[in-house]
Structure 1
Amino acid sequence: MKRMKQLGGFLVIAILLAACSSLRVASDFDREVNFNNYKTYNFYQKGLEKLEVNGIDKKRMIAAVDSEMQAKGFTKVEKPDILVNLVVMKRERTDIYDNGFYGGPWGWRGGWGWGWAPFWGGGLRSVDRYQEGLFIIDFLDPKTKMHVWHGRGDGFNLDSFKNREERINTGVKEILAQYPPN
């Protein structure tokens, strides 16, 4: 019984850690660009018009990018050195959680005790389906009309409204932490 409680406690901790995991972030950039030349920014309006999120999330994403860009010393102006383009891509995600308590015909059979019970009992299994989002932040040079930096964060649960604004802020911060490139 003590072992079952320990295992149960471990399972709860593992689920909580998985729920708190951050985005998987990555970035890429044009190695021929001198990023010290960029001091001002604004948003790429055509990109914002195509951004496929609701108006509330769009506003949150813009505010999060504004906050991070200003923290990096950028100034928002009408004719910027760099344009920020935002993209959100979605895909259906299915997570299956299984505690693995099957162990053949012998084993614990909830409520019936230990013994022989073919095709009875089994482990606890749950299926979670949701929309997973990929956040992309691109920097475009308006003079050359070329991408100069690309950052992305993958793994955002778009169906969850819990702490959504905080998660958007954290996601944008994690992505832009990789700018400027080393």
Structure 2
Amino acid sequence: MINGCITKHTNVMNSLKKLGGFLVVAVLLSACTSLRVASDFDKDVDFKNYKTYNFYEKGLEKLEVNGLDKKRMMAAVDTEMQAKGFTKTANPDLFVNLVVMKRERTDVYDNGFYSPWGWRGGWGWGWGPYWGVGMRSFDRYQEGLFIIDFLDPKTKMHVWHGRGDGFNLDSFKNREERINEGVKEILAQYPPHSSN
């Protein structure tokens, strides 16, 4: 009877450990997929009138990223704007302004396995209530908010605002691909729809 009970508890514990591991992997993968994007625009503007673009030089001078990332961001914007049919010119219909804001971020990762029953360690050994097995780790990094604004040089008005929040600025893994994907996700919201 006791052996059967121990075997049953061991099987349950192993199943819960596997489930906890799968949950951690799922959470980590979902956290890495994309930025949180949003956009806003002037509803009185006819966006069909805009055919050409260039970067807002004063904005580029204030862009708080290293030269490599600035070049990557500009190249990503060029790719997306040209895919939308825009032409880059010296006297554009739209100025593109880029902004990167930074903040400290701490992510806490948990293996997801806590149970009212678990293996006791520390002060005692054996099975008992309200004990659990869990691992926790912390990841501290600079998180970036990417902003892409469209400005009308004729009216001197801000006509479209797009943003992507959640870019890990401290990670250099696949950095160029992540910047490209981030810019693509933000600009996927342009041109705006009146239903937004």
TM-score, scaled to structure 1: 0.89
Question: Could you tell me which amino acid in structure 2 is paired with residue 41 of structure 1?
Answer: Y
Q: In 1, Cα distance between the equivalents of 2:175 and 2:125? A: 44
Compare CA radii of gyration and give the structure with the larger one.
2
The SS at the match of 1:133 is strand
The aligned residue for residue 36 of structure 2 is 24
Query: Which of 51, 70, 91 lines up with 2:82 in the alignment?
Result: 70
Where in structure 2 are the equivalents of 1:134-149 lying within 5 Å?
A: 134-149=145-160
The aligned residue for residue 47 of structure 1 is 59
The aligned residue for residue 95 of structure 1 is 107
Q: Give the drift of 1:99.
A: 3.2
Q: In 1, Cα distance between the equivalents of 2:24 and 2:173? A: 19
Change (3 A) 1:113 1:21: farther
The SS at the match of 1:166 is helix
- Structure 2 unmatched runs, 5+: 1-10
- Structure 1 unmatched runs, 5+: none
The SS at the match of 1:31 is coil
Question: Could you tell me which amino acid in structure 2 is paired with residue 175 of structure 1?
Answer: I
1:135–1:153 CA contact under 8 A, matched in 2:
yes
Runs of 4+ in structure 1 off by over 6 angstroms are 110-113
The aligned residue for residue 58 of structure 1 is 70
Query: Which of 167, 172, 176 lines up with 1:165 in the alignment?
Result: 176
Question: Could you tell me which amino acid in structure 2 is paired with residue 58 of structure 1?
Answer: K
The SS at the match of 2:148 is strand
Q: In 1, Cα distance between the equivalents of 2:121 and 2:75? A: 51
Q: In 2, Cα distance between the equivalents of 1:5 and 1:98? A: 12
The aligned residue for residue 80 of structure 1 is 92
Query: Which of 121, 135, 138 lines up with 1:127 in the alignment?
Result: 138
Q: Give the drift of 1:123.
A: 1.7
Question: Could you tell me which amino acid in structure 2 is paired with residue 52 of structure 1?
Answer: E
Q: Give the drift of 1:116.
A: 4.8
Q: Give the drift of 1:110.
A: 6.5
Q: In 2, Cα distance between the equivalents of 1:64 and 1:107? A: 51
Change (3 A) 1:134 1:113: same
CA RMSD of aligned residues (A): 2.3
Aligned residues: 180
Question: Could you tell me which amino acid in structure 2 is paired with residue 28 of structure 1?
Answer: D
